[in-house]
Chain A
Amino acid sequence: MSQFEVYSIGPKIQIGSFDLSFTNSSLFMVLTVSVISLFFIAATQKKSLVPNKMQLIAEMAFEFVSKMISETAGKDARPYFPFILSLFLFVLVANLLGMLPYSFTVTSHIIVTFALAFFIFVGVTLVGFARHGISYLKLFVPSGVPIFLLPLIIVIEVISYLSRPVSLSVRLFANMMAGHTMLKVFGGFVVSLGILGGWLPLGFAVALTGLELLVAFIQAYVFAILTCIYLNDALNLHH
């Protein structure tokens, strides 16, 4: 489908065997970042005690993420607040920009979400090792397991740990991809059924658009909260 196609914009840049051309996907990532930056710059321009609408939204986003971190990962995760906030806003705004007609959804490509999830995975692992040293490996050895079951449990725990970035990225990608495909299918029904029968799928498409807005928010939230949970595992080693 044409809405998922990635094509290069501007000159072709080739370094080694890598094609580093600027694509529509990169364009929308730049757009996402600039929308967030411009919004926050504008919202914090006039700092008043009684906030106007923009300042209110910015403060709400701030408080929302701050509460999420303190509830799931505790006090120790405070230094990672900027990272979680940027991550949440990036995914949220990328999802929402994808809802505009003729736009491109960055998060509907597995490579984008996997890159995000993989860097979170590496980062969390590094944080864990930096904080606990080699005893971070105790994460794979739950307490109170009989000794003859230990090899099996360790293998299972390692697989579980390694599957984190995959489940994190697949969830976001699958949700966005499925939602947009569904919208496209119902849109196709509207056209093929014409003016007589097209009203029912049109109603569905409208309802689905509303649902998609909800999904865009929920998936950004889930992505951020799971990062918090992984951070919590790395910071407070316990079982």
Chain B
Amino acid sequence: MAFKMKDIKELDSKIKNLSKKTRKVESESSSSSSLGIAMKLSSEMVAAVFVASLIGYYLDKWLETEPFFLIILFFLGAITGILNVVRTSKMINKE
């Protein structure tokens, strides 16, 4: 009987240790503010579209194919932007 009590006490201390750890993780993850997240996501989206359109514009200028590449790359940029937003939010969720 006595040896069983010892086991229970050991288990109890283990549980206490683990719950301490999880609480620590939780408090850390909530420290990044929602305002920062919102800015992160929006700038990600805008930057991809902007960069892709810029590449398209200069490709057109170079190859003299106005407005062919600009249109294609604009849409590719939008796709990339959405993909980036999805990735970033996945990363935030993981944290």
Query: Given A170-B43, A170-B47, A163 and B80 touching (CB < 8 A)?
Result: yes
Identify which of B36, B39, B77 contacts A159 (C-beta below 8 A).
B77
Identify which of B33, B35, B39, B84 contacts A163 (C-beta below 8 A).
B84
Identify the stretch in A11-19, A51-59, A95-103, A214-222 within 8 Å (CB) of chain B at 4 or more residues. A214-222
Identify which of A152, A160, A171, A218 contacts B84 (C-beta below 8 A).
A160
**Which A residues touch B48, using CB under 8 A?**
159-160, 163, 167
Is there an interface contact between A156 and B33, defined as CB atoms closer than 8 Å? Answer: no
**Which B residues touch A166, using CB under 8 A?**
47, 50-51
How many residue pairs bridge A and B at CB < 8 Å?
A: 59
Contact bitstring B51-87, A, C-beta under 8 A = 1, else 0: 1100100000000000000000100110111011000
Q: Does A155 contact B (CB under 8 A)?
A: yes
Q: Does A162 contact B (CB under 8 A)?
A: yes
Is there an interface contact between B51 and A159, defined as CB atoms closer than 8 Å? Answer: yes
Main secondary structure of the interface of A (DSSP, over half): helix
Is there an interface contact between B36 and A218, defined as CB atoms closer than 8 Å? Answer: yes
Q: Does B46 contact A (CB under 8 A)?
A: yes
Interface size of B in residues (CB-CB distance below 8 Å): 22
**How far, in angstroms, from A64 to B17 measured CA to CA in the complex?**
24
Is there an interface contact between B76 and A155, defined as CB atoms closer than 8 Å? Answer: yes
Query: Given A163-B52, A214-B33, A175 and B84 touching (CB < 8 A)?
Result: no
Q: Name the interface size band of chain A.
A: 20 to 34
**Which B residues touch A162, using CB under 8 A?**
51, 55
Q: Does A174 contact B (CB under 8 A)?
A: yes
**Which B residues touch A152, using CB under 8 A?**
76
**How far, in angstroms, from A58 to B51 measured CA to CA in the complex?**
39
**Which A residues touch B77, using CB under 8 A?**
159, 163
Query: Given A156-B76, A163-B47, A166-B51, A171 and B33 touching (CB < 8 A)?
Result: no
**Which A residues touch B79, using CB under 8 A?**
156
Q: Which residue of B lies closest to A171 (CB)?
A: B43
**How far, in angstroms, from A155 to B52 measured CA to CA in the complex?**
10
Is there an interface contact between B52 and A159, defined as CB atoms closer than 8 Å? Answer: yes
Q: Which residue of B lies closest to A218 (CB)?
A: B36
Which residues in window 104-141 of A have CB below 8 A to B? none
14 contacts across the A-B interface (CB closer than 8 A):
A156-B79, A160-B84, A163-B48, A163-B52, A163-B84, A166-B51, A167-B43, A167-B46, A167-B47, A167-B84, A170-B47, A171-B40, A175-B39, A219-B36
